[in-house]
């Protein structure tokens, strides 16, 4: 989060609508893909320039133009010119720290959401901004990089002409892609749940300081997820309410199901936050209990040896006329007294339940 703020601060003072990329520095080339389909056929091409896609924006059929990579301002500027995208919208596309939102642009819709993934190496949740521009017969998608996305199953259904996506409009394609993103949230949450279960087991068996550090890391991840999932719910709610001619009544029915999925994701994140807060309290309680046990043992030793030390110190004084110093059995009598005191204290502690069993 702070890294995003630092990158965003570098653009302070620039004119509004300046298409300057704000995100992770990349050197990979920008790739384009256009899939055009209708009920009769499918065609996939990789154009060199977005101008080649302009003739497909009015139909027939549906054209899905996907742009992988936002670090090349020339490509984004070309998209703005070809599809008549407002400069402020272009600025939101290339500034990758945006929160999910939906805006109506007259003859098109602009949607931003976050694609999440779980990095197995760093064991952290990573995000990627995905922007959609929906027209009557086309859908533009802008992704930060080309290292993989969650749209593979949608592409397979289109290329294989399976499912209803090929028989419906661009609005249903928008729904299908957003649904793929939200479904992947459950995969990320499953991995987070496994992490939480592992730490919970370790906390119950042998809590260590590194477990507290891991808990704080997971709490940050939960806040990170909530930051992007909460506004996503608002985006889907706006879409499923209808009122825009680009969203058909048939698609609204599916968007309602997508809204239910976002509610489930949000509830799961809130549950994780409550669990993690409880686990932090559990860790602190276990540490406090361990400290109390240690202090209990030390107090027991001190209680045993305080009277014995008193007796030994008393007879360690170098007075000439101490009565017991000349007594033949004095040494053994003092040892017996010390043993009697020790055993008596031990029996008293056991009777009180301070040792041998837990106190009630």
SS (H, E, C) 2-55: HHHHHHHHCCCCCCCCCCCCECCCCCCCCEEEEEEECCCCEEEECCCCHHHHHH
- The contacts of residue 268 (CB under 8 Å, 6+ apart) are 186, 189
Nearest to residue 84, comparing CAs of 105, 102, 62, 100? Answer: 105
Domains and CATH numbers, the chain: 2-285 (3.30.460.20), 315-352 (no CATH)
- The helix/strand/coil state of 63 is strand
- The helix/strand/coil state of 184 is helix
- Which DSSP category does 97 fall into? T
Q: Are 281 and 207 a contacting pair, CB within 8 Å?
A: no
pLDDT value at residue 175: 94
Nearest to residue 82, comparing CAs of 32, 154, 20? Answer: 32
Q: At what angle are helices 152-159 and 170-205 packed, to 10 degrees?
A: 140
pLDDT value at residue 19: 60
Q: Are 271 and 297 a contacting pair, CB within 8 Å?
A: no
Rounded CA separation 50/79 (Å): 6
pLDDT in tens, the chain (360 residues): 545 545 544 555 455 555 666 666 666 778 888 999 887 888 888 888 888 787 777 767 889 999 888 877 778 888 888 888 888 888 888 888 888 999 988 888 999 999 988 888 887 888 888 999 998 888 999 988 766 678 989 999 988 888 888 888 899 999 999 999 999 999 999 988 888 888 888 877 777 778 788 888 888 888 888 888 889 999 999 998 877 888 988 899 999 999 999 999 999 999 988 888 888 888 888 778 778 878 877 887 787 788 888 888 877 777 777 777 777 778 888 888 888 888 888 888 788 777 765 543
Quick one: 356 exposed, middle or buried, by C-beta within 10 A (0-12, 13-18, 19+)? exposed
Rounded CA separation 69/52 (Å): 18
pLDDT value at residue 5: 46
pLDDT value at residue 267: 92
Q: Are 280 and 272 a contacting pair, CB within 8 Å?
A: no
Please provide the size of the chain in residues. 360
Q: Which DSSP string corresponds to 197-264?
A: HHHHHHHHH---HHHHHHHHHHHHHHHHHHHHHHHHHHHHHHHHT---TTS-HHHHHHHHHHHHHHHH
pLDDT value at residue 360: 39
| Beta carbons within 10 angstroms of residue 30's beta carbon | 16
Rounded CA separation 158/38 (Å): 9
The reported pTM is 0.77
Rounded CA separation 300/339 (Å): 16
Rounded CA separation 288/38 (Å): 66
pLDDT value at residue 40: 80
- Which DSSP category does 98 fall into? P
- Which DSSP category does 95 fall into? B
Q: Are 62 and 37 a contacting pair, CB within 8 Å?
A: yes
Strand partners, 53: none
């Amino acid at each position: 989060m702070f890294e995003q703020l630092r990158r965003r601060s570098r653009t302070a003072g620039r004119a509004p609508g300046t298409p300057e990329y704000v995100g992770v520095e990349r050197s990979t080339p920008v790739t384009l893909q256009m899939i055009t389909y209708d009920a009769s056929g499918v065609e996939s091409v990789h154009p060199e320039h977005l101008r080649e896609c302009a003739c497909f924006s009015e139909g027939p059929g549906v054209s899905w133009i996907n742009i992988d990579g936002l670090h090349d301002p020339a490509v984004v500027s070309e998209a703005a010119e070809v599809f008549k995208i407002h400069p402020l919208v272009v600025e939101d596309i290339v500034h990758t720290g945006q929160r999910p939102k939906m805006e109506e642009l007259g003859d098109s819709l602009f949607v931003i959401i976050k694609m999440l993934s779980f990095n197995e190496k760093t064991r952290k949740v990573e995000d990627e901004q995905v922007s959609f521009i929906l027209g009557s017969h086309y859908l533009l998608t802008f992704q930060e990089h080309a290292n993989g996305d969650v749209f593979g199953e949608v592409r397979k259904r289109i290329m294989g002409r399976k499912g209803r996506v090929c028989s419906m409009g661009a609005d249903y394609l928008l729904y299908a892609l957003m649904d793929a993103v939200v479904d992947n949230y459950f995969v990320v949450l499953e991995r987070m749940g496994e992490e939480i279960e592992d730490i919970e087991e370790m906390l119950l068996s042998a809590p260590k300081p590194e477990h507290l550090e891991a808990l704080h890391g997971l709490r940050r991840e939960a806040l990170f997820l909530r930051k992007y999932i909460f506004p996503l719910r608002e985006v889907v709610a706006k879409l499923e309410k209808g009122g825009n001619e680009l969203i058909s009544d048939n698609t609204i029915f599916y968007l309602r199901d997508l809204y239910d999925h976002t509610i489930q994701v949000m509830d799961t994140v809130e549950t994780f936050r409550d669990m993690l807060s409880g686990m932090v309290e559990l860790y602190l309680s276990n540490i406090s209990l361990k400290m109390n046990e240690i202090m209990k043992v030390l107090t027991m030793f001190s209680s045993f040896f305080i009277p014995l030390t008193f007796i030994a110190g008393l007879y360690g004084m170098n007075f000439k006329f101490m009565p017991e110093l000349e007594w033949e059995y004095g040494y053994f009598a003092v040892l017996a007294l010390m043993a009697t005191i020790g055993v008596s204290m031990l029996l008293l502690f056991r009777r009180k339940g301070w040792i041998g069993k837990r106190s009630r």
